[in-house]
A and B are shown apart, each in its own frame.
Chain A
Amino acid sequence: MNNTLSKIENEEAKLPEAIEISGSKAVLEALLQENVTTIFGYPGGAIMPIYDALYDYSEKLKHILVRHEQGAIHAAQGFARTSGKTGVVFATSGPGATNLVTGLADAMIDSNPIVCITGQVFASLLGTDAFQETDVINITTPVTKWNYQVTDATEIPEAIAKAFHIASTGRPGPVLIDITKNAQLQLFDYKGYQKCSHIRSYRPEPEIRNEYIEKAAELINQAKKPFVLFGQGVILGKAEEEFKTFIEKVNLPAAATVMGLSALPTHHKLHVGMLGMHGNYAPNVMTNECDVLIAVGMRFDDRVTGRLDKYAKQAKVIHLDIDPAEIDKNVKTTVPVWGNCKKTLPLLTALLKNNDHSEWVEKFRELEKEEIKEVIQDELNPTTEVMTMGEVIKVLNELTQGDAIITTDVGQHQMVACRYAHFNSSQSSVTSGGLGTMGFGLPAAIGAWYGAPEKTVVAIIGDGGFQMTLQELGTIMQFGAKVKIMILNNEFLGMVRQWQQLFHDRRYSFVNITSPDFVAVAKGYYIDGQKISEREDLKTALETMLNHDDAYLLEVMVGKENNVFPMVAQGTSVSEIRLK
């Protein structure tokens, strides 16, 4: 390997003389220049030249061999969510690339910066139904922020530079670069790598308009009952401090979307809970009572709004978002504040008059008491014999003190974890919010651990979802990702069963799922673990899991037919949220 290559500095991107290198090598050089350290991937014939080149780079680029490409992309998502960096994925053509589609869709809707590099058949074979050829560009178009097929090695540096720029700026998202095998093998005159900071047709951040900031401030200053909703935009914009200053200045009550969790510490005095279908009672009800609704970096998903025609009709809406297409998409906005909230929030804060909304915040606290009495008390301190998911999370909180990164899968356990887990610091909640992808939790935890190896990573997963990607135990085994896996086993596809119970007359159609001996399965992968079903074992078992030096699997048997409440049933308004 030519050692001089990686040392090329960005600023002086041009070498005195061009060096002849292969397209594959150019790919890896590009990754190094983009400060990539970790790649999640799976090889195959069409990406073999890149893997061959990787052999020489293995000291600088860590490659995590997953057990399924879906695992690679979810891991990259977990990595991106906890590190704030761009996640990188390698996959081969055809089946390798199509296995990425779910993860791409997930990353797209949850705005995760991901760069996928897929191998493709020789350019001369494109369109011939060649072995393992699929039209990856067309398949992935709706689920990528941008994609591009490279058929000539000379295009590689620029394509990858663009990919990183696009994936990580503005509203982040997944990008896919499909590289034909001939381009990987082709030798060309490499003139160095230049990072991309500008693309003519791409405006990552809209211009901030002062007149709108002023109007927004005016509305907030006049408001009697202002209410803030915050989403992942706060985290993506690294605007946690700016956000805190903003709400603290005039005591604005603030509620998180599922994707916004951990942007504000759970115990912050102005944090009034989680929004949405299984969110908290107070913020859902009060949405329809506030006079000014301030949405920060969130997109009014239907799981948050319930029935749109009854959503916050009384309120003037201020929407802060980096993506102009989100403004007015679902909820009509009175004042749009385009831009990165890291920049717009301070401008807005500066114009706020010193009002105090403590009394209004107190109203949330009153409703919270009602929710505690009706739901939370029983969930966290059950008197029944069987364990609830909530009490497991409660003990976890006691032991981790809110310092762990929590990844979840999808289902009841996800909603319970989102409702009850404590988060002290940002980027510590990793869940599939927009797509609701079962099978996400385990691989995402692996990626989260690589993204923040100094932290404890706990994956909370259902018995159903675990069986969708449990092969990633193999990745944990081989690469030593020290993730703590907690399966909350209710012997049902619980969330679907809950809906069947509530809306389909208890007709439990194919939601009864039997599971293998999970502990034995883990043991097969040389991962320690245990299964418990008694409350008295819970704390010790969790301690054992957390104190264990390596990865650990804990299976907790919980109530079979427990439900997650409160709930905003589909097609109802957020203020019709039911407590039971």
Chain B
Amino acid sequence: MEKQEFTITLYTENSVGLIGRISGIFSRRKINIESLNTSPSEVEGIHRFTIVIHESEEVVRKLCRQLEKQIDILKAYFNTDDEIVWQEQALYKVPANVVTEKVYVERLLRQYGASTVVIRQDYIVFETAGHREEIDRLTEELNKYGLIEFVRGARIAIIKDSAGIHEKVLEFEKKEPSHEIVENEYLDQQDNVFTM
């Protein structure tokens, strides 16, 4: 099966050491993680991992089953690029003079919707967000003008066709209510937490 880019979305408990467990599942199979982001999700206490890998669908499917099997992982989804809305953020540090002097650079930044983060006499830092190719293209262009430093953030993605995790969690809880009050906290705040 052909390899392609997949975005894995994990909903997890916010527990110490989980990242080691997750990364172990990839490294054990010699699968390289292209990008990894972790952040809170729409449900309090539940975290969201977004992981990008380049693999065949079969491998990704098996991988997600292994991931979902982990005690602290509630749900693992995998999607191709057209099934998600995704963004990556980038910062560029460019010599101040090329922006002030070179009209082309200014146009370029405008075209990519870059915004200024820091202005100093010697350099300017821009920020932009977009798909990898867009960021790559801008980087390539700015490289010609003495790009000093560049960094790209991990991918974040929203699955187009999903209702989020909260409904699933509620469903689980309805079937088998948890004894652990701590974990049920959000249920009392249903209106606050789950109105999206």
A-side residues, CB < 8 A to B, are 137-138, 141-142, 145-147, 149, 158, 166, 194, 196-203, 323-325, 327-329
20 A-B residue pairs with Cβ-Cβ distance under 8 Å, sorted by A, are A138-B17, A141-B20, A141-B24, A142-B28, A196-B179, A196-B180, A197-B176, A197-B179, A198-B176, A199-B71, A200-B13, A200-B169, A200-B178, A201-B13, A201-B72, A201-B73, A325-B62, A325-B65, A325-B68, A328-B62
Tell me, in angstroms, the Cα distance from A230 to B175 when the chains sit together: 31
| CB-defined contacts of A158 to chain B, threshold 8 Å | 180
Tell me, in angstroms, the Cα distance from A389 to B189 when the chains sit together: 68
| CB-defined contacts of B71 to chain A, threshold 8 Å | 145-146, 166, 199, 201-202
Count of chain B residues with a beta carbon within 8 Å of a chain A beta carbon: 27
| CB-defined contacts of A142 to chain B, threshold 8 Å | 24, 28
Tell me, in angstroms, the Cα distance from A194 to B74 when the chains sit together: 23
Tell me, in angstroms, the Cα distance from A149 to B21 when the chains sit together: 14
B66 contacts chain A at the CB level, 8 A cutoff = yes
Tell me, in angstroms, the Cα distance from A329 to B66 when the chains sit together: 10
Is the CB–CB distance between A324 and B69 below 8 Å? yes
Interface set, chain B 43-99, CB cutoff 8 A to A: 61-62, 65-66, 68-69, 71-74
| CB-defined contacts of B141 to chain A, threshold 8 Å | none
Tell me, in angstroms, the Cα distance from A323 to B28 when the chains sit together: 20
With contact pairs A194-B179, A200-B74, A200-B178 given, residues A137 and B17 touching in the complex (Cβ less than 8 Å): yes
Q: Interface digits, B176-192 against A, CB 8 Å rule (1 contact, 0 not)?
A: 11111001000000000
Tell me, in angstroms, the Cα distance from A327 to B58 when the chains sit together: 12
| CB-defined contacts of A145 to chain B, threshold 8 Å | 71
What are the nearest 6 A-B pairs in CB distance? Answer: A325-B65, A201-B74, A146-B71, A325-B69, A198-B176, A202-B71
Name the distance in Å between A33's Cβ and chain B's nearest Cβ. Answer: 14
Is the CB–CB distance between B177 and A198 below 8 Å? yes
Tell me, in angstroms, the Cα distance from A324 to B63 when the chains sit together: 12
Name the distance in Å between A197's Cβ and chain B's nearest Cβ. Answer: 7
Most-contacted residue by chain B among A141, A147, A158, A324 (CB, 10 A) = A141
Name the distance in Å between A10's Cβ and chain B's nearest Cβ. Answer: 11
Tell me, in angstroms, the Cα distance from A329 to B179 when the chains sit together: 34
Question: Residue on A with the closest CB to B169?
Answer: A200
| CB-defined contacts of B177 to chain A, threshold 8 Å | 198
Beyond the given A141-B21, A147-B17, please list 19 additional residue pairs across the A-B interface where CB-CB is below 8 A. Answer: A137-B20, A141-B20, A142-B24, A142-B28, A145-B71, A166-B71, A194-B179, A198-B176, A198-B180, A200-B13, A200-B74, A200-B169, A200-B183, A201-B71, A323-B69, A324-B68, A325-B66, A325-B69, A329-B62
| CB-defined contacts of B7 to chain A, threshold 8 Å | none
